[in-house]
A and B are shown apart, each in its own frame.
Chain A
Amino acid sequence: GNSVTQMEGPVTLSEEAFLTINCTYTATGYPSLFWYVQYPGEGLQLLLKATKADDKGSNKGFEATYRKETTSFHLEKGSVQVSDSAVYFCALVGAEAGGFKTIFGAGTRLFVKA
């Protein structure tokens, strides 16, 4: 079946540091890929998405490029802020028996220090 693997956290960075959170996937066909973010005390919300190979999703300074050749969708940000502290979930929507289903990764917690 389809699956998502993302790097374990927590990741701790200083403000203005460069961020990379790795995500790789296994899927049949051509899934869509997503990053969701969960701020403290809140539910998950969509951060960005990409629906086909070589697409780049971007939002709030975050970017991720759909790489079919490496089955990856790594999240990057050039300069993190304290307000980026949250849990980040990689997800895919892919074809399975019965239709398209969403699979979430385990989440990566990010702490940003001032």
Chain B
Amino acid sequence: ETGVTQTPRHLVMGMTNKKSLKCEQHLGHNAMYWYKQSAKKPLELMFVYNFKEQTENNSVPSRFSPECPNSSHLFLHLHTLQPEDSALYLCASSQEFTGTSTDTQYFGPGTRLTVL
């Protein structure tokens, strides 16, 4: 059991839809992450929140909008997506971003997103 949950597990949406992905961690961590995992591409870090403050935004298009209302919850709001945005979106948490050199990340099971 990872302690990090994600909903929904699967999502199909049209390019004009607006949807949100939710992540919740029960580990008492202070850092939360969104990653994009596409077939045959390396894991892409999208956003990092540390103590509820966004500390990393790796040139992600504005059609992806993160929200972190508290250190246990992380959302990814989606609007006017493109078919190439279809991927597995993984949420992770760790004790603290850039905290220590031994920091382990704990991942949720991911949301499989398909954009039609």
Which A residues contact B (CB, under 8 angstroms)?
30-32, 34, 36, 41-46, 49, 51, 89, 93-95, 98-102, 104-107
**Contacts A41-B109, A42-B109 given: A34-B4 contact, CB under 8 Å?**
no
Pick the contact of B101: A36, A51, A98 (CB < 8 A): A51
**Contacts A99-B98, A100-B98 given: A93-B103 contact, CB under 8 Å?**
yes
Measured between beta carbons, the chain B residues less than 8 angstroms from A106 are: 41-43
The main secondary structure of chain B at its interface with chain A is loop
Interface bin, chain B? 20 to 34
How far is A36 from B92 in the complex, measured between Cα atoms in Å? 13
Taken residue by residue from 90 to 106, chain B's Cβ proximity to chain A (1 for < 8 Å, 0 otherwise) reads as: 11101001111111111
How far is A89 from B44 in the complex, measured between Cα atoms in Å? 13
Q: Are B101 and A45 in contact (CB under 8 A)?
A: no
**Contacts A104-B42, A104-B43 given: A46-B104 contact, CB under 8 Å?**
yes
How far is A98 from B97 in the complex, measured between Cα atoms in Å? 10
Q: Are B42 and A100 in contact (CB under 8 A)?
A: no
Measured between beta carbons, the chain B residues less than 8 angstroms from A49 are: 102, 104
**Contacts A104-B43, A107-B42 given: A44-B101 contact, CB under 8 Å?**
no
Q: Are B90 and A31 in contact (CB under 8 A)?
A: no
How far is A67 from B100 in the complex, measured between Cα atoms in Å? 21
